[in-house]
Homo-oligomer: A and B are copies of this chain.
Amino acid sequence: MRNFKLVLLYDGTRYHGWERKQGLDTIQGRLENVLSKLCDAPIEVIGAGRTDAGVHAKGMVASAQMETNLSEMELLRAINAHLPADIALREIKEASPRFHARYRAVGKTYCYTCYDGVLKPVFDRKFVTVLDASPDLEAMRQAAAYLVGQHDFKSFCGNPKMKKSTVRTVDRIDIVRKGSRLTFTVHGDGFLQHMVRILVGTLLEVGWGKRSPESMKALLEARSRREAGFTAPAQGLCLMNVDY
């Protein structure tokens, strides 16, 4: 048995998220089918995390144990040849038997892209969230400064039944405008369900003047999802990188 680290890109538009679900088309399901056929045995893939339905990735990491004599290059070619056009394997490397894509992950980078131009974004329309109004960047940056650090992010957790700790460290929220595209780059040690999307939705509400930057402090203390902003749509979100 050899243990492998896989790095994947995907256009999540037509998938029901990363996680395998009976009867639904998912990235994990697709990947496991390809690996299982290749190895002629059922292969289980472990993802660094679960991206929601419609979320994209440029650097999702997974691990899988496989019995195969193929080289890394042969595996890369064979797996890509069998994956659909909207999922690509960027690299596959043999890893230590103890490498585990989820347990060993120590950080993740997400990028969320909004578009507030006049012209409709025809060519990247599936990868951006169109805004009706332009938010105030400076207000959003001030708000983001309150959110950076180690906090209990329960107000930003989409799972009401979350039993485990909701404390996470977010060490970077960069908000950059390039033309009509606004990107939120968020790095942290881990993220709760919908956390990046709720962070972005809340920051947008600050940018639209519906909340003050200073209100972020009370919002963190409230530990209540109802106090935070809307969940920004999945299509603007992309998992960029996982740190080990």
Minimum CB distance partner of A88 in chain B: B120
User: In the complex the two chains form, is A88's CB within 8 Å of B122's CB?
Assistant: yes
- A86 at interface, CB cutoff 8 A: yes
Judging by beta carbons under 8 Å apart, are A122 and B80 in contact? no
Q: Are B127 and A85 in contact (CB under 8 A)?
A: no
| A218 contacts partner chain B, Cβ-Cβ < 8 Å | no
- Residues of B near A101 (CB, < 8 A) are none
Query: Interface code A91-128, partner B: CB below 8 Å = 1, 0 otherwise?
Result: 00000000000000000000000000001101111010
**A10/B88 in contact, CB under 8 A:** no
Whether A85 contacts B125 by the Cβ 8 Å rule is yes
Residues of the B chain whose Cβ atoms lie less than 8 Å from the Cβ of A85: 120, 122, 125
> A interface, by DSSP: helix, strand, loop or mixed?
loop
Whether A127 lies near B120 (C-beta < 8 A) is: no
| Given known A80-B120, A120-B80, contact A125–B9 (CB-CB < 8 A) | no
A10 touching B122 by the CB < 8 A rule? yes
- Find out whether the CB atom of A9 lies under 8 angstroms from the CB atom of B127: no
What are the interface flags for A1-13 relative to B under an 8 Å C-beta threshold, 1 for contact and 0 otherwise? 0000000011100
A177 sits at the interface (CB 8 A): no
State whether A127 touches B123 (Cβ < 8 A). Answer: yes
When C-beta atoms are compared, the residue in chain B nearest to A130 turns out to be B85
A183 to chain B, nearest CB (A): 15
Residues in A15-73 with C-beta less than 8 Å from chain B: 56
Q: Which residues of A contact B (CB under 8 A)?
A: 9-11, 56, 80, 83, 85-88, 90, 119-120, 122-125, 127
Interface contacts beyond A85-B120, A87-B122, A88-B119: sample of 7 additional A-B pairs, CB < 8 Å, sorted by A: A10-B122, A56-B123, A85-B122, A85-B125, A86-B122, A88-B120, A88-B122
